[in-house]
Amino acid sequence: MILSPSLLSADFAHLADELAALEAAGITWLHLDIMDGAFAPNITFGPPLLQAMRPLSNLFFDVHLMVEDPARYIGDFRAAGADMLVIHAEADKHPQRTLTAIRSLGCKSGLALNPGTDVGAVRWLAADIDMLVLMSVNPGFSGQAFLPATYEKIRAARSMLDENGGANVLIQVDGGVSPENAPHLVDAGAEVLVSGSAFFTHKPYEQRIAAFMAASAGRERRPAEEAMQRRKTALDGGTLLC
């Protein structure tokens, strides 16, 4: 299981310290929530913040674009240091085109679904993505309550991906994730867990990571890092270069 802490719950007045503390504790991914005040009812930050953080950090920047018409911004976010760009199916009229463009920038591509969007929205895009993000809250804020329908949705998504050429696609769950629900999420097939408030409010981070990892130990269908590596190998020499 990969734990991707959501920067939205970090101490924005001391971001450099936060990045250093995460890496020292053993974190490898960082989830960055981009909201435009239109797709999501909140405004967060844009490429300049990533650009400022990039030289300070080796973390894998997992960038969650909760913006309308995300194709307008993928070049800027990639240039600023994004390693993975996730767009919302509900925000893009032509997601296949945008996902292909993301890969052509040498970046991993991801598609996110709101709680009410069926996994069928990804069926014909399974070959175009490295990760499927299932929102377990409505986009907008950290600290919202986890939606339990997500468990069943993860199982449906895993079957759908496996049957449609997406066996190597990672499943990420985002919203209301904690060490309490982590074991059930991993049981269902989640491989990347995003955590904002339930992570950053508990220090030291080493102990919090251990709590998430202990909760999911022995439940994984397959090692998530290895799945990502397989995906990289399969696409090297093609369009995916990072």
Residue tagged active-site, from 33, 36, 62, 130: 33
Asked whether position 36 contacts ligand DX5 by CB under 6 A, the answer is no
How many residues bind to ligand DX5 according to rule CB under 6 A? 21
Alpha carbon distance 32, 133 (integer Å): 13
166 touches, from ligand DX5, Zn ion, none (C-beta below 5 to 8 Å by class): none
Q: Which residue is nearest to Zn ion (CB)?
A: 64
In degrees to the nearest 10, what's the CA dihedral of 241, 156, 210, 177?
100
Segment interacting with ligand DX5, rule: CB under 6 A, options 80-88, 102-110, 171-179, 233-241: 171-179
46 touches, from ligand DX5, Zn ion, none (C-beta below 5 to 8 Å by class): none
Residue 116: φ, ψ to 5°: -90, 0
The 10 Å CB-count burial string (b at 16+, else e) for 147-179 is beebbebbebbbebbeebebebbbbbbbbbbbb
Strands 192-195 and 2-5: parallel
Q: Which of 57, 98, 142, 181 binds ligand DX5 (CB under 6 A)?
A: 142
Neighbouring-strand partners of residue 86: 64, 110
Active-site residue, 118 included: no
Active-site residue, 174 included: yes
> Per the structure block, which two tokens stand in for 149?
């329908």
Segment interacting with ligand DX5, rule: CB under 6 A, options 120-128, 170-178, 180-188, 204-212: 170-178
Q: Is there a contact between 65 and 34 (Cβ–Cβ < 8 Å)? A: yes
Q: Which residue is nearest to ligand DX5 (CB)?
A: 196
70 touches, from ligand DX5, Zn ion, none (C-beta below 5 to 8 Å by class): none
Catalytic residues: 33, 174
Give the interface with Zn ion as residue ranges (CB under 5 A). Answer: 33, 64, 174
